[in-house]
Structure 1
Amino acid sequence: MANQAAGHPVTAAVLLTNPSDNLLIVRPAKENAPWQLPGGIVEMNESPFDAVRREGREELGLDLDVQEYDLFAVEWLQATRPGRRNRLAFIFAGPVLYPADTDRIVLQRDELDAWRWATRADAESMLHPALAARIVGPLQTPQRAHYRETRYEGTL
């Protein structure tokens, strides 16, 4: 955690779809980890925008055409356990990927062991419930970001 900034930890993820509006999800290499969106922790002195592009290169081997106006959602999440901190999660709407794009995916094997296309219903059941709740409305909504807060009553 040497690269983690003080204050709220920040994560950045990207929604990648195919022409059928399926969502690209990835499975972490950790045992029993739920499927998630490509992305990760924003490093110190890095913006969420820069982090999501870096994570695309590192995790998938793709240079994603994500722009600042592709911000999809921001959520403040209350810590769920003592010793944890509240955090901010940014999600960007990424480009539509075609077979020529997905043929170039090379997973970062120390972090991910699989990727797949998921329908909206499948993604909602496979992703962590907090992440699934962040994915609201159409998956491609440039210049129309959503903001949410997730509070856990009586947890801390």
Structure 2
Amino acid sequence: MTQPPRHSVSVAAVVTDRHNRVLVIQRRDNGAWQLPGGILELDESPQTGVRREVREETGVDVESERLTGIYKNMALGVVALVFRARLIAGTPTETDESAAVAWWTADQVVADMSEVFAVRILDALRSDPTPAVRNHDGTRLLNDSAITGPADSPGSTNADL
């Protein structure tokens, strides 16, 4: 008898500073710039997982404010829950899991981050409180328009996301 397909769940945080820049990390394993986050442990809540992952990757403590999106990698079966979070304590710094930590603008996110990770940030920056639900293949969004710029910017619509 074959095993049924399994999913894993990851969590990530969109943390902004007073200039509305987003906290991002450069991963040590592949050099990619992404949100701090990772696989949710079996015995932890999504909010606890967000706090743990952000601390492990940036050295700061955060508190989740709201769910902003659900993203499924159709190729790998990974479901990512992305939360807006606020900084509670600490100064961002590189860790064993991050080669670099930085504050990026939405424009920099669009220019320098892969589409499937940039959209998570743009969705979190929208003023609409409804969480986005998106599918991707690990590289490109499926059944969605291409990212053209920060959400809620002049001339952008939700279709731009």
Whether these two folds match at TM > 0.5 is: yes
Long gaps (5+) in structure 2: 143-161
Structure 2 residue 9 is the aligned partner of structure 1 residue 13: no
Alignment of 1:3-152 (within 5 A): 7-31=6-30, 33-67=31-65, 70-79=66-75, 85-95=76-86, 97=87, 104-108=91-95, 110-137=96-123, 139=125, 143-150=129-136
Post-superposition offset of 1:45: 2.3
Amino acid at match of 1:19: R
The separation in 2 between residues aligned to 1:89 and 1:60, in whole angstroms, is: 19
Aligned residue for 2:12, secondary structure, equals strand
SS of the aligned residue for 2:110 comes to helix
Cα distance between partner residues in 2 of 1:128 and 1:35: 8
Question: 5+ unaligned residues in a row in structure 1: which ranges?
Answer: 1-5, 80-84
- Highest RCO, 1 vs 2 (Cα 8 Å, sep ≥ 6): 1
**Residues 133 and 106 of structure 1, relative CA distance in 2, 3 Å threshold:** closer
**Distance verdict in 2 for CA 1:143–1:14, change over 3 Å:** same
Distance across 1 between alignment mates of 2:128 and 2:52: 20
TM-score, L = length of structure 2: 0.71
Choose between structure 1 and 2: higher strand proportion: 2
What's the offset of the Cα at 1:150? 2.4
CA shift digits 1:51-73 (9 cap, x unpaired): 11111222222221224xx1111
Task: Decide whether aligned partners of structure 1 residues 15 and 28 sit closer, same or farther in structure 2, where only a CA change above 3 A counts.
Answer: same
Return the TM-score normalized by structure 1: 0.73
RMSD: 2.6
CA distance in 2, matches of 1:65, 1:55: 12
Task: Report % sequence identity.
Answer: 30
- Count the aligned residue pairs: 135
One-letter amino acid of the counterpart of residue 61, structure 2: D
SS in 1 for 2:42: coil
Q: CA deviation at 1:86?
A: 1.4
